[in-house]
Structure 1
Amino acid sequence: MVRSARIVVICALSVFGVPAFAQDSGRQGVQLGDIDRTADPCNDFFQYANGKWREENPIPASMSRWSRRWQAGESSKDRLRTILEATALTKAPRGSIEQLTGDFYAGCMNETQIDRLGVEPLRPLLTDIRQMKSPQDVQKMIVRLNGMAISAPFAFYSSPDNHDPSFVIAQVIASGLGMPDRDYYVKPDERFIQAREKYQAYVARLFELAGSTKAEAQAATKAVVRMETELARQSLDNVALRDPQATDHKMSIAQLQRLTPRFDWNAYYTASGLTTGDVNVAEPKFMEEVDRQLGAASPDDWKAYLTFHVLDSAAPSLSKPFVEEHFGFHSAYLRGAKEMKPRWKRCVESTDEQLGEALGKIYVEKYFPPEAKARMQELVKNLRLAMKETIEELDWMSAPTKQKALEKLSTFNPKLGYPDKWKDYSTVPVKRDAFWGSTVAARAFNVKDDLTQINKPVDRGRWYMSPPTSDAYYNPPLNEIVFPAGILQPPAFSVDAIDAVNYGAIGVVIGHEISHGFDDQGSQYDAQGRLRNWWTAEDLKKFEARGACVVKQFDNYFVEPGLHHNGQLVLGESIGDLAGAKIAYRAFKISQRGKPAPASVDGFTQDQQFFIAWGQFRGDAVRPEFARTMVQGDPHPIGKYRVIGPLSNLPEFQRAFSCKASSPMVRPPQERCEVW
């Protein structure tokens, strides 16, 4: 769930799905060469759909998972590289998007200078941390670091008010842990014990690279781990964090001040250039622990803690030894990557991360044609209609709840490709000879750009993914679904693909995002985006029972012996996949109403093309290390179970491939899950 978002005003979609294209003649079907024809689709559809592609395309050394989808995302960076290499050679006016992106990229690519400087770009900041003497100094440094997007020990940003999403308030959330989540600090499992050992070695190494002796580094590491462990003990786990009620604690500044009496919030607001107002505190117990640490931890402990988080945050922007250490823990150990991505690709990613809409504006002008947006609008229209028909036909939901569900569906706002209004980065002082300085400047701009939304009416035109991003999201308070241009390419989407393929790939993604409005989290928000129950008590019980079926199904999916998915953690994403596949299939049938289409394409029926397209889009090979990390904290299941999980519940899939009732890809009727 994205932390905040907006709704561009778009007219409600027609109840009629009028096809934009009369036929699929001459368009492309699924990738035939990817299919493993030695596999039985009714036994293991994941292997069947693109097992041959995975066999012939092993995971690249720099990646943690791989499929045509991830390959497409990496290929987008080739396009971005072309853009950035051109802007880097352009003598553009200062403040223009060409100057900003070109100089930022050129500064990142100046590896010789970055390596020569080592830790020196951080020296003034590290010196200021070292000179802290009092809790007040610590608080001032926390404000300063937050302004540089270094969120330790908490993060502070803008978010629509859960109870009045037309207005933006401040949000305070737990942060400042160097490992992925609380379990890494407190659980006794061998894998967590090993992670703690690896982490301590990483922390100590960063201190040594910054100039500490081994003894000093060891002492600082102990302080960092002790403080983070205490903070972790008071943090919610990943399952609890999925419940919006558990993180809904709106309060006044006076109440927040009473919660954390040692922290001067008026000073924080003043230093951040903000006027005080209401704030949501996601984890009050965590903030109480932060307050306790302000009194209990020594200045030296705080110096070590904040110094480490500066080093960890800055490491990818510093000299090669820092980059390698950061990669070794975060990418190699936790994700299983075998080598770093090439420098140019990391610089492309950094530019996109910091100046995303500047780079994105050039990207969409070159690579996102108007016809792509038009066809996506057609897909969204039919997905909306399919969800409407599905809700209307539910036999387990009462009329009052149906009315509320349909009202919510009618207020959905789709955003496609890119924002209508682009951010103005012209004041960001980007320089070619100061990469860390440019990074800090861009970060500071982005932080300020976010904070300026606090205590104002929500700006529904804002985006929280850059246009080149190969992903999508749903935002509950603003009830919007967002699809950046970066995901609107094969294998997800193509203007040259037959309808069956587009509906089976991006169509399921669209359905997935729509379904998030009705999953275990999104279902708690009403049509206006308020965190408010709109269900009858009986309907809510039935809905939760249907979700429990999905939980049980995914609890039994193992990534290795003894380690299985947490069904409760992946419930929302799994409901999204299940409902997404179902309503995308229905939308595909809507698109064929009154439109003749060939019975088969390349030897596969239209229905088979639809399901194979989903298998090929989601057919990720995943490294074991990353699978373990995902199972621990990612609300998304690994690719294999995102393919076989939802499809094994669909009678439409069983019919498409003539699967016997006893087939592994067909769940018995008494075990079949259906939420929407």
Structure 2
Amino acid sequence: MRPSLLIAAILSTTAAAAIAQTAAPKAAKTNTPNTGSATSSAAEQAGPAIGTFGFDMAGRDTSVPPGDDFYAYANGTWEKNTEIPADRSSYGMFHRLQDLSREQTRALLEEEKGKADSKSGNFYASFLDEAAVNAKGVTPVKPWIAAIKGANSKEALAAEAGRMQRRGVESFFGLYVNQDDKDPETYAVVFGQAGLGLPDRDYYLKDDAKLAATRTAYQAYLAKMLTLAGEPNADARAAAVVQLEKAIAEAHWTRVESRDADKVYNKMTFAELAARAPGYDWTSYLQAAGIPADAPLIVAQPTAFTGEAKVWADAPVAVLKDHLLLRMLSTYARYLSANFDQARFAFYGTELTGAPEQQARWKRGVDLVSNHLGEDLGKAYVARYFPPESKAAADALVRNIIAAMGERLKKLEWMAPETKQKALAKLAAFTPKIGYPDKWRDYSELEIRRDDLLGNVARGNEFEFQRNLNKIGKPIDRGEWFMTPMTINAYANPTMNEIVFPAAILQPPFFDPKADPAVNYGAIGAVIGHEISHHFDDQGRKYDPSGKLADWWTEQDVARFKTFTDRLVAQYDAYEPLPGQHVQGALTLGENIADLAGVIVSYDAYRLSLGGKKAPVIDGTTGEQRFYLGYGQVWRTKYREPILRQMLLSDPHSPGVQRANIVRNVDTWYDTFGARPGQKLYLTKEQRVRIW
């Protein structure tokens, strides 16, 4: 099972999703204060970075009763006055903080760019030199094009797919190296379904006018890629590839099926995989990718592999070659001349996410180098922007919230005593990671050239691919991080039994040492509680204290737990952010459980932190009100319609409005804001979902 994130990859500029290229609000209208310059730090602030106590009071809309829409009450004026700029598809607090992190990282890279021996500086310079990239045109990938076109048998093409896999190009199948869920002291190769250029199977299979228009635009995009590469008969060839991908989509599991930790654990040998998925030349593929034939193997969606292998076996070689060719061109278009880059953005940026303009090149360069040399940059980032007092304060917060979760577990009435003891043992075994790794990654073997952007990306992908393969057969590296210190996100990793919070998220509006503690508990505290609770959500609960996927709950516990989660699924199924398109309660269940638990547990921790004293009233707000306002503020988010549609179809996270309004299930929120019968969010005590 992959780590559970606080948010999806909506801040990433990589991959087809490009899910949320966002921007800042209009300066003339927004009421959100400045979060500080790239060189500021929490230690240098005279007071809170936001407002008088850490919350933007002017961003509220007090004309909306909290009981009708808490999100609008806390954020409505911000929502009205914030405009999504042209280079973004959505904008919110995560994106605002990402902007700050990028500015901070840019300052570091500008310094490194002047050093001839700096890998990160040379990588950044190679991306910024747009004139040199344009002058090369399609030339850098011509050898790859020739190799793909020259693979005139399916055996040869499978080998080429393996070589392209090492360079970061997924054709029919994807893979990564992770701990074996049922043997977490061992690394395994985990295979998952792939092969689609659109975000999800529904984009190919649903009878929906908007999705049909997207399919038409996608086919035109593929034809454009072929034309730019100098290939003839582009329209017909693109159409054939779209039909091939539709057949692949028909074999794919749904996202709801693919999030079930038990269903996606299917351990087998490569010989067994070949028997289960005949028609694909697995030997040629594995040898070319460099995957050891005796490596432990887990296949996430075995019936999808059977179906995809049949699609491969039935398809003409020419169409399969075009599919791999287009997967390569689409993956690397951002590192080719502007005509490729712009064509890719027109589809994956504008068509799929709604962003009219591409982000500035320096921003994309910062993201690219952070992706490939993240811990090289991270070391400098932490030294400059993450003061020791921020780490110490965050450490204390984490300890308090773990303790609060422990108290919640002890008082549970629905869980069997023997299960409760194991749950407490799991909590006691947690490893919190705050800020940055204890040991930095070594990039000395990665070759970076100042005049070779595409080569840098390809070598970076191969370096990371091989680094992961090298783990096989070795002890588990429990110090490894799967995010850089500059990342605005957090995650829970069930097989490591850990929760991880990068340095960059420990900044306002999530965490501010100068802010009122109530706001910090409502913001980063709820984030910490969210990640802790992922270890006890509908999938995380399946992992025992050692990180092993095991059945350690009683049947009665599972049945009682399901009665709660079924109600939460139904609650979210009823939300309709777009006409005719609802939140998928089953897909978003894990994140909704974590949001609910996060706010409840963090509230408990905040009350405990007061030591029995009453919190002061600040600007007319009680401590309890400031806690919930701090929680609501972090979910400020505006979306363009295409990205919101994509989220609802494929994202395991609910939109910001629904995440903020999870408070309708929390008794103390009713006590704090006086929500009453007849208001839209009001639930009777019997209707409120209480799990932890």
TM over 0.5: yes
Alpha-carbon separation, structure 2, partners of 1:268 and 1:561: 45
1:158 aligned counterpart, secondary structure: strand
Q: Give the Cα–Cα distance (whole angstroms) in 2 for the partners of residues 293 and 600 of structure 1.
A: 65
Mark the CA change 1:46 to 1:4 in structure 2 (over 3 Å): closer, same or farther.
Answer: closer
Aligned mates of 2:409, 2:340 — CA distance in 1: 53
The aligned counterpart of 1:14 is none
Deviations 1:52-92 (A, max 9, x none): 22222211221222123321111211111111111101233
Per the alignment, residue 173 of structure 2 pairs with: 154
Counterpart in the other structure of 1:431? 449
Matches within 5 A, 1:10-21: none
Q: How far apart, in 2, do the equivalents of 1:266 and 1:407 lie?
A: 44
- Paired with 1:550 and 1:389, the residues of 2 have a C-alpha distance of 23
- Which position in structure 2 is the counterpart of 1:230? 247
| Other-structure match for 2:271 | 254
Q: Which residue of 1 aligns with 2:18?
A: none
Give the Cα–Cα distance (whole angstroms) in 1 for the partners of residues 506 and 291 of structure 2: 38
2:322 corresponds, among 285, 294, 304, to 304
Match for residue 437 of structure 2?
Answer: 419
Question: Within the alignment, does 1:66 sit opposite 2:91 as a pair?
Answer: yes
How many Å separate the matches in 2 of 1:450 and 1:74? 30
Counterparts of 2:614 and 2:2, CA distance in 1: 39
Matched, 1:89 2:114: yes
1:617 aligns with 2:642: no
Matched, 1:322 2:340: yes
- 2:55 is aligned to 30
The answer to whether the 8 Å contact 2:3/2:494 transfers is no
What are the ranges of 5 or more consecutive residues in structure 2 without an aligned counterpart? 6-45
Contact kept in structure 1, 2:204 and 2:249, CA below 8 Å: yes
TM-score, structure 1 as length reference = 0.93
CA contact under 8 A between 1:386 and 1:584: conserved in structure 2? yes
Displacement of 1:274: 4.3
Match of 1:208 in 2: 227
Paired residues of 2:280 and 2:313 also in contact (CA < 8 A)? no
Evaluate the alpha carbon distance shift between residue 476 and residue 128 of structure 1 in structure 2; reply closer, same or farther with a 3 A threshold.
Answer: same
2: CA distance, partners of 1:591 / 1:661: 32
Which letter maps to 1:309? R
Number of the residue aligned with 1:386: 404
Q: CA deviation at 1:210?
A: 1.0
How far is 1:583 from its partner? 0.4
Alignment of 1:272-421 (within 5 A): 272-275=289-292, 276-421=294-439
Deviations 1:131-163 (A, max 9, x none): 111122112101101110111111122111111
Q: CA deviation at 1:226?
A: 2.1
Change beyond 3 A, Cα 1:479–1:125: same
Distance, in Å, in 2 between the alignment partners of 1:72 and 1:195 is 31
1:45 counterpart residue number: 70
SS in 2 for 1:558: coil
Residues 549-588 of structure 1 mapped to structure 2, 5 A cutoff? 549-588=567-606
Cα shift readout 1:12-41 (whole Å, capped 9, x = no counterpart): xxxxxxxxxxxx999833222222233322
Residue of structure 1 equivalent to 2:2:
2
SS in 2 for 1:527: coil
**Within the alignment, does 1:80 sit opposite 2:105 as a pair?**
yes
Shift of 1:3: 5.6
Paired AA for residue 606 in structure 1 = G
- The Cα of 1:598 is off from its aligned counterpart by 4.1
List runs of 5+ in structure 1 lacking aligned partners: 6-23, 93-98
Counterpart AA for 1:217: A
Equivalent of 1:547 in 565, 579, 582: 565
Which of 462, 474, 478 does residue 492 from structure 2 map onto?
474
2:395 alignment partner AA: Q
Aligned to 1:564, what secondary structure does the other structure show?
coil
Contact 1:479 1:517 in 2 (8 A): yes
Distance (whole Å) between structure 1 residues aligned to residue 243 and residue 108 of structure 2: 46
Are the equivalent residues in 2 in contact too, given 1:69–1:490 (CA < 8 A)? no
Report the CA distance between 1:586 and its aligned residue. Answer: 0.4
Alignment TM-score, normalising by the size of structure 2: 0.91
For residue 170 of structure 1, give the secondary structure of its aligned residue in structure 2: strand
Q: Tell me the distance in 2 between the aligned counterparts of 1:253 and 1:608.
A: 57
- In the TM superposition, 1:634-653 aligns within 5 A as 634-644=651-661, 646-653=662-669
- Provide Cα deviations, 1:230-263, integer angstroms capped at 9, x if missing partner: 1111110111111112211101222123223444
CA distance in 1, matches of 2:67, 2:261: 38
Distance across 1 between alignment mates of 2:667 and 2:550: 34
Q: How far off its partner does 1:2 sit?
A: 3.0
Give a deviation string over 1:375-410, Cα, whole Å, max 9, x none.
111111111111111111111112112112112111
Counterpart mapping for 1:435-446 below 5 A: 435-446=453-464
Between the aligned partners of 2:142 and 2:369, the Cα distance in structure 1 is 24
8 Å contact from structure 2 (residues 228, 340) kept in 1: yes
CA contact (8 A) 1:391 1:405 kept: yes
* CA spacing shift, 1:80–1:314, aligned 2, 3 Å: same
Matches within 5 A, 1:479-558: 479-558=497-576
Which amino acid is the alignment partner of residue 123 of structure 2?
Answer: F
CA gap of 1:262–1:564, structure 2 versus 1, over 3 A, is: closer
| CA contact 2:54–2:512 (8 Å) conserved in 1 | no
* Cα distance in 2 between the residues matched to 1:480 and 1:203: 42
Comparing 36-45 and 564-573, the one that deviates more? 36-45
Q: 3-state SS of the aligned residue for 2:433?
A: strand
- Give the distance between the partners of 1:185 and 1:266, measured in 2 at CA: 30
2:218 match: secondary structure: helix
Deviation of the 1:356 alpha carbon = 1.2
Residues 260, 287 of structure 1: 8 Å contact kept: yes
CA contact (8 A) 1:159 1:454 kept: no
Shift of the alpha carbon at 1:264? 4.7
Counterpart CA distance in 1 for 2:488 and 2:106 is 16
Counterpart code for 1:227: L
- Secondary structure at 1:304's aligned position in 2? helix
Within 1, Cα distance between the matches of 2:414 and 2:303? Answer: 39
1:16 equivalent in structure 2: none
Corresponding residue for residue 95 of structure 1: none
Q: Would you say 1:180 and 2:190 are equivalent positions?
A: no
Q: Does the aligned pair in 2 maintain the 1:2–1:474 contact within 8 Å? A: no
Deviations 1:165-207 (A, max 9, x none): 1111111111121001111112222232222111111111111
2:138 to 115, 119, 126: 119
Give the distance between the partners of 1:69 and 1:602, measured in 2 at CA: 26
**Residue type matched to 1:39 in 2?**
V
Alignment match of 1:655 (pick from 651, 666, 671): 671
Contact 1:4–1:160 (8 Å) recurs in 2: no
Contact 1:54/1:67, CA 8 A, preserved across alignment = no
Partner Cα distance (2:2, 2:259) in 1: 12
Q: Percent identity?
A: 38
Q: Name the CA shift for 1:205/1:505 in 2 (closer, same or farther; >3 Å).
A: same
The size of the alignment, in residue pairs, is 648
CA contact 2:47–2:514 (8 Å) conserved in 1: no
